[in-house]
Amino acid sequence: DAGITQSPRHKVTETGTPVTLRCHQTENHRYMYWYRQDPGHGLRLIHYSYGVKDTDKGEVSDGYSVSRSKTEDFLLTLESATSSQTSVYFCAISEMGSGGTDTQYFGPGTRLTVL
């Protein structure tokens, strides 16, 4: 898993509550990503970070915010969870592979259910 851990691994919450998911990496990678995975949609990028305090939006960023105060931690926050945010969330890091290609490695995922 390229030294990536996610916490919690499972969470059930209620509509309207705030939720924070944590991604932790041990190998000092510059780039970190948050994706959501839903049936029929594959994986879709929510936000990514290219350094401490440097973040940008992805394809499906509405309703989500992120923070990166340390190289090793990338937090995803749902300010007010909705049922449409029920999904499996994956963190990924980017590592330069052979030929100068960035290869993304994924964490084990967090299954979030919003009731």
Partner 1 sequence: QQQVKQSPQSLIVQKGGISIINCAYENTAFDYFPWYQQFPGKGPALLIAIRPDVSEKKEGRFTISFNKSAKQFSLHIMDSQPGDSATYFCAASRGNNNDMRFGAGTRLTVKP
Which residues bind to partner 1, rule: CB under 8 A?
Answer: 1, 4, 31, 33, 40-45, 48, 50, 56, 58-59, 90, 92, 94, 97, 99, 101-109
Supply the minimum distance, in Å, between the C-beta of residue 81 and partner 1: 22
| Cα three-residue angle 4-64-85, rounded to 5 degrees | 85
From CA 4, how far away is CA 2, in angstroms rounded?
Answer: 6
Nearer to partner 1, 48 or 75 (CB): 48
Nearer to partner 1, 96 or 115 (CB): 96
